[in-house]
Structure 1
Amino acid sequence: MSDYKEYCLEKTSNQHILKAPGYKVIEKDGSTETFKISGDGFIFHNEHHLLRVESEYFVKYIQQEYNPITKLIENAYD
């Protein structure tokens, strides 16, 4: 997989990494990113087994949570 491109799906210390021969972010908004993947795509994380992306399209959702102190809906980063 040394020729695969990598994309960090979350900017935390506990990251999920997308690896694929090629990908393109085709849509992005505040809580989702949609990817078009060429070839076999995989998700890597140190707390679970390798996941194979079984479609040429992949949607990443960012969990939202309510912060009672700020009274705002915020992205959750666990």
Structure 2
Amino acid sequence: MKHFLEETTNTHVLEASKIRVLKTIDSTQVLKIEGEAVLSHGEHGCIKIEGENVIKYVQQEFNPITRAVENAYD
């Protein structure tokens, strides 16, 4: 099963036998996974996840052009 954590030009994909999204609040998701899990992050490589709980959030940064705090996607 695949779950796309971040839909950008450098997509973050979580793969596991079973993935459940327990909660979504703004740009944060709480996930429960079963089985061996791998998070791939485009050119940055892969991470093996050994626990069953995953929290995904999108970092926010100040954008000096728009002068607003925005999601900082790759």
TM-score normalized by the length of structure 1: 0.81
SS at match of 1:65: strand
Alpha-carbon distance, 1:65 to partner: 1.3
User: What is the letter of the counterpart of residue 66 of structure 1?
Assistant: F
Q: Per-residue CA shift, 1:5-60, capped at 9, x if unaligned?
A: 11111111111110011011101111311100011111113323321111100011
Q: CA RMSD in A?
A: 1.5
Residues 1:9 and 2:8 are matched in the alignment: no
SS at match of 2:51: coil
Percent of residue pairs bearing the same amino acid type: 43
Q: 2:16 aligns with which of 16, 20, 35?
A: 20
Aligned residues: 74
Structure 2 gaps, min length 5 = none
Q: Structure 1 residues 39, 77: CA separation in 2 closer, same or farther (over 3 Å shift)?
A: same
Aligned counterpart, 1:35: 31
The structure whose residues are more often strand, as a share, is: 2
Trace 1:56-75 onto structure 2 (pairs within 5 A).
56-75=52-71
Structure 1 gaps, min length 5 = none
SS at match of 1:37: strand
